[in-house]
Amino acid sequence: MSTEAFDVYQLPEEHGTIREAVRAVCDARVAPHAAEADETGEFPKASYEALRAADFHAPHIPEEYGGAGADALATAIVIEEVARACASSSLIPAVNKLGTMPLLLAGSEELKRRYLPPVARGEAMFSYCLSEPEAGSDAASMTTRATLDGDHYVLDGVKRWITNAGVSEYYTVFAVTDPTARSRGISAFVVERSDRGVSFGAPEKKLGIKGSPTREVYFDSVRIPADRMIGAPGTGFATAMRTLDHTRVTIAAQALGIAQGALDYALGYVKERKQFGKPVADFQGIQFMLADMGMKLAAARELTYTAAGKSERGDADLTYFGAAAKCFASDAAMEITTDAVQLLGGYGYTRDYPLERMMRDAKITQIYEGTNQVQRIVMARQLLNGVS
């Protein structure tokens, strides 16, 4: 049999080079700030500066807008490697992609040229405002309104669970422009932090990813030019769902990184820790746990990278694979980090070691950008419709 049939399983050399470069930056300049960001709950500015200096803060932005032009797989690898060092910091490239993806998918050339270059240069970040207090999984039930007034729209409402809110300069905001049309009456807009009437709630007190601020965003008669609409009126919900098809891959990548960081640390520990006169790693029960952790991580990585390839190509089955990658990788990350804590015993339960932080950070990957229960609904519907 020709060996060419197996080439698909080999990571391209340039992507391996990207991994090495990101890991070097993160080991030296991101990982040292991870515990502090978790402890203080403050945005890791030093990590952001390190990522920006290396052009890893928003690698997905095309070269024509001043970006690095990384493809979907390369972007996933960047996020994975940053998450291996610090989950909070991995939300810098991940949320920059989430916030800008609607522009890349549906925005006018004028909007792209205005808002993408500052993000590419590291002068601004971009957040994504979809969820509301009463519209989480049922995003189509949002009540934030955008009312046309001459050549402007006036936005009123509140968005909840907004990652990097207050730090980001720009926000993709979804609002109802036609209340009679449900999902077909939702439109998308670019809102700037400096727009009059924009304000933010207090930071949420979270279980994990504490170094990435999560706040409510309030819109009190925010008046913006009509040309800041992303796409045509009424297409916002479709754009939001298309965006999530792509960015669920980035959450899968984040979960991979957290899990890899936990497994790496646990491996080092069990080889050094001795009980009953020999390394803990020599015990068969421990080896079984390590084998399961490695197997789940490898499977999650293959699924995530496959989904990244489908994202880059815009394949018809991206919806299925994006949901599957996010769901499987995040479930695996929760299991792997929990087992890693167990391998350290009492030490794993303390803040003197990083694994309890990694376990807490992993939990959110099962929840945001659609809970894993929602992902299973998405996958089932795709299967029933003959797309997978």
pLDDT value of residue 9? 65
Residues 147 and 195 in one domain: yes
- Measured N-to-C along each axis, helices 45-53 and 87-106 cross at an angle, to the nearest 10 degrees, of 60
Residues 92 and 160 in one domain: no
Host domain of residue 244: 237-384
Q: Which of 235, 262, 282 is the last residue of a domain?
A: 235
Sequence-ordered list of residues with C-beta below 8 angstroms from that of 256, at least 6 positions apart, any chain: 80, 83, 297, 300, 301, 304, 329, 333
Q: Which of 96, 120, 144 is the last residue of a domain?
A: 120
Residues 359 and 250 in one domain: yes
pLDDT value of residue 388? 72
Residues 193 and 256 in one domain: no
C-alpha triplet 160, 228, 69: angle, nearest 5°: 85
Question: Catalytic residues, which ones?
Answer: 369
Residues 364 and 245 in one domain: yes
Q: d(Cα 131, Cα 365) in Å, to the nearest integer? A: 16
Residues 156 and 249 in one domain: no
Amino acid present at 271: K
Q: Which of 99, 120, 141 is the last residue of a domain?
A: 120
> If we measure between CA atoms, which residue out of 8, 117, 132, 104 comes closest to residue 65?
117
Give me the number of domains the chain comprises.
3
Cβ atoms of 162 and 211 within 8 Å: the answer is no
CA-based end-to-end distance of the chain: 28
DSSP string for 80-138: HHHHHH-HHHHHHHHHHHHHHHHHHHH--HHHHHHHHHHHHTTS--EEEE--BTTBSS-
Residues 253 and 310 in one domain: yes
Residues 299 and 180 in one domain: no
> If we measure between CA atoms, which residue out of 270, 257, 248 comes closest to residue 361?
257
pLDDT value of residue 1? 41
Residues 142 and 152 in one domain: yes
Q: d(Cα 319, Cα 341) in Å, to the nearest integer? A: 33
Residues 15 and 75 in one domain: yes
Cβ atoms of 329 and 336 within 8 Å: the answer is no
What's the token pair of residue 33? 């700030």
Low-confidence ranges of the chain (pLDDT < 70): 1-9
Give me the CATH number covering residue 95. Answer: 1.10.540.10
Give me the CATH number covering residue 183. Answer: 2.40.110.10
Amino acid present at 186: I
| Gyration radius of the chain's alpha carbons | 21
pLDDT value of residue 3? 40
Residues 260 and 379 in one domain: yes
Residues 208 and 247 in one domain: no
